[in-house]
Amino acid sequence: MISDKKTAIVYDWIDKWGGVERVLLNLHGMFPNAVFYTSYYDKEKAGWAGGLNIKTSFLQNFPNLIKKNRILSFIFYPFAFESFDFSDYDLVISVSSSFGKSIITRPGTRHICYLLTPTRYLWSHKKDYFKNNLINYLTSSYLNFFKKWDFTAAQRPDKIISISKTVRDRCLKYYKRNSEIVYPGFDTEYWGKIKSKIKNPNDKSQMYSKYEILNTKYYLVVSRLEPYKKVDLVIKVFNKLKNKNLIIVGEGTGEEKLKEIAGDNIIFMSKVSDAELGSLYSNAQALIMPQEEDFGYVALESQFFGCPVIAYKRGGATETIVDGKTGIFFSDQTGQSLMKAVERYDKIKYNLKKNTKDIRMVNVDKFAKKKFIEKFIENL
């Protein structure tokens, strides 16, 4: 029995909220007695984790200046995860896009890695992180060394489960390992409750109403504000489309720079509740996803609330969006390509928003939480 196994769950860092964190809560529901291991835990920014049993590495005792800065703390992460002792566990599940998969387990402990993606800044998206030629030159020797370490670390799990076809292909390409695909679970029951509250104007239990008074002719971005998310591309396009409004929901290291280049028709929001987010989806013209997603959880959220998606035609978006039914794609990560997509969307948005409810729900149901649980357990 799975419930009889003493289980640990490992994640790179517990310091924010997003699609991956919803996966962690799903795993917590499946393994309620599991202990969570992570490099460090930010109680303020990761309030969702308050009910978890969390053990942190020595990085937790470092000054915030170091542990909260990925660059300054970079060299310590391999040591942090390799120092954990899992000798008392039957099963360890690492959920990782970088260091978590590097844990060391004894022969009697089964290690399953739920791979979010091979480390982006080493493999698939290096150019997004190292745009400065001088920095790229100065760090090349160390990064090449670290790529070898990362490849070795990826051989340690007994089995790898990828979150999408996109990640499965990257895993084979960069780590030379086959992997099974188990899509992250979308909790239709939970989001259905959120939707019913939004539709009931007499329910004042959720603070979403303040967002309903916004001009409904706005487009939406829901994303971590990091370089690889390409939010700057959307801003540059909407700086030209001054007659269209854009709302950006999210936080990240690029927030200040993005605000500096944004025009008056662009609004930033953070610390938005799920009810508020649902209301924003419900009233938006479309969600824009300019990045190459590993999976793209927000695309499912958006479709669930009847909001079509305009997405870059690569990565996980091609697996979660039905072209011409629940959204449309643009081919290049350029302002011109996105601009043309927005113009094309304006011409067909009525049909996308009004006539595809059944298609949206059938598509979202393909990624239901219960299917995630069933498939994940099958692969343990």
Report the CATH number that the domain containing residue 81 is assigned in CATH: 3.40.50
Q: Are 175 and 199 found together in one domain?
A: no
Estimate to the nearest angstrom the gap between the alpha carbon of 62 and the chain centroid: 26
Q: How confident is the model at residue 107 (pLDDT cuts 50, 70, 90)?
A: very high
Residue 87 lies in a domain: yes
- pLDDT for res 65: 87
Q: Are 201 and 166 found together in one domain?
A: no
Q: Are 27 and 129 found together in one domain?
A: yes
Picking from 155, 181, 207, the residue at the C-terminal end of a domain is 181
Q: Are 96 and 130 found together in one domain?
A: yes
Which tens digit of pLDDT belongs to each residue from 141-153? 778 889 999 999 9
Identity of the amino acid at 282: S
Residue 379 lies in a domain: no
Q: Are 257 and 311 found together in one domain?
A: yes
Confidence check: pLDDT of 26 > 50: yes
The structure tokens listed for 241 are: 């489309």
Q: Are 6 and 142 found together in one domain?
A: yes
Q: Are 83 and 148 found together in one domain?
A: yes
CB 349 within 8 A of CB 286: yes
- pLDDT for res 179: 97
Indicate left, alpha or beta for 50 from its phi (over 0: left) and psi (-120 to 50: alpha).
alpha
* SS3 at position 235: helix
The structure tokens listed for 107 are: 């022969």
Q: Are 158 and 194 found together in one domain?
A: no
pTM of the full predicted structure?
Answer: 0.89
- Report CA Rg, the chain: 21
CB 245 within 8 A of CB 265: yes
Helices first, then strands: H and E counts in the chain:
17, 13
Least confident of 94-103, 173-182, 247-256: 247-256
Residue 373 lies in a domain: no
Picking from 181, 212, 245, the residue at the C-terminal end of a domain is 181
How many structural domains does the chain have? Answer: 2
Domain that holds residue 250: 188-365
Q: Where residue 293 sits, what CATH number does that domain have?
A: 3.40.50.2000
Nearest C-alpha neighbor of 295 from the set 160, 55, 158, 116: 116
Confidence check: pLDDT of 213 > 90: no
CB 183 within 8 A of CB 164: yes
- pLDDT for res 138: 58
Picking from 181, 197, 232, the residue at the C-terminal end of a domain is 181
Q: Are 110 and 197 found together in one domain?
A: no
Residue 377 lies in a domain: no
Q: Are 170 and 216 found together in one domain?
A: no
Q: Are 51 and 14 found together in one domain?
A: yes
32 contacts: CB under 8 Å, gap ≥ 6 = none
Identity of the amino acid at 65: L
The structure tokens listed for 48 are: 């969702």
Which tens digit of pLDDT belongs to each residue from 249-278? 998 889 999 999 999 999 999 888 899 999
Q: Are 87 and 123 found together in one domain?
A: yes
Q: Find the helix packing angle between 369-378 and 19-30, rounded to 10°.
A: 60
Instruction: Return d(Cα 239, Cα 246) in angstroms, integer.
Output: 9
Residue 353 lies in a domain: yes
